[in-house]
Amino acid sequence: MSTPDFSGTRYEIVREIGRGGMATVYEAFDSALMRNVAVKVVSVKGEEGIQTVREPAEVRPHIMKNAEAQLIATLEHPGIVPVHDAGSLPDGRAFYVMKLVRGDTLAALQPIGANELLRLFLRICEPVAFAHARGVVHCDLKPSNVMRGEFGEVLVMDWGIANRRGGTRGYMAPEQEHGDISPAADVFALGTMLRQMMSGTATSRRLNAVIAKATAVDKAERYATARELEEDVTRFLDGLPLIAYKESRIERLGRWARKNAALLAVIGAYLLMRVTVLLFAGR
């Protein structure tokens, strides 16, 4: 596809930085504010080679116009890229302008520790949970739609098909194929991402239970929202009981002992001291 015509606007295209099923993203220079920005231009038709399901009407730019820009503008959260401007090109295609995020996608993440991965996952859940609380379902969560910026910020990108039928195979919930859209669909994608993120680490039965609940085929068996999934992962990190896992008494005792290891060490040291004193006193 040729570079779009931005004549008559304040934006000068620098380079293409991303292409998907419905849009192409460019880095551009904003001559009014003298800064580089990201400009997303809606495609006329889906790109070849993208394993994405779309409704035919949703790839027509005159149908979409600036719906995505308007939706994102209502989601003011640090984990969602803000929209600066929106408009139409001479050929009728819609575009909108966002903050330019420099960094890597989750797909390009370098190996890090298990707990750090889980804390990163919680930061992915936060903006999704925020959107769910406002009636918005992303519908296309996947590693390439999550960015970690150069200063450590975590951002969920590409809300172009939010609340619409669509998604990427491998991350889509089973019911999405039939147009059943709910926050549980995003939970399925988040659970799939969590499984992939933890694939190179040793996982416990407790964490595996969280992943299994998030990716259940029957959406009624999943966490209802990203907030519920986020809270159970937080409980896992804090050594608390989980919604997804029913512990035996021995497991519950072991978990309590691990969480209170410092207290048990102090009690043990005190008891040892008392025994020592009593032994010496009895001589």
**What residues are annotated to the active site?**
140
Asked if 233 and 125 count as a contact pair (C-beta separation under 8 A), the reply is: yes
Across 120-176, where does the E strand assignment appear?
Answer: 146-149, 154-156, 166-168
Pick the closest to residue 165 from 147, 178, 153, 183 (CA basis): 178
Q: What is the 3-state secondary structure (H, E, C) of 164-230?
A: CCEEECCCCCHHHHHCCCCHHHHHHHHHHHHHHHCCCCCCCHHHHHHHHHHCCCCHHHCCCCHHHHH
Pick the closest to residue 50 from 18, 6, 4 (CA basis): 18
Torsion of CA 152, 105, 173, 195, to 10 degrees: -70
Residues 6+ apart with CB under 8 A from 147: 101, 103, 104, 105, 106, 154, 155, 157
Residues 6+ apart with CB under 8 A from 227: 125, 129, 132, 133
Asked if 39 and 28 count as a contact pair (C-beta separation under 8 A), the reply is: yes
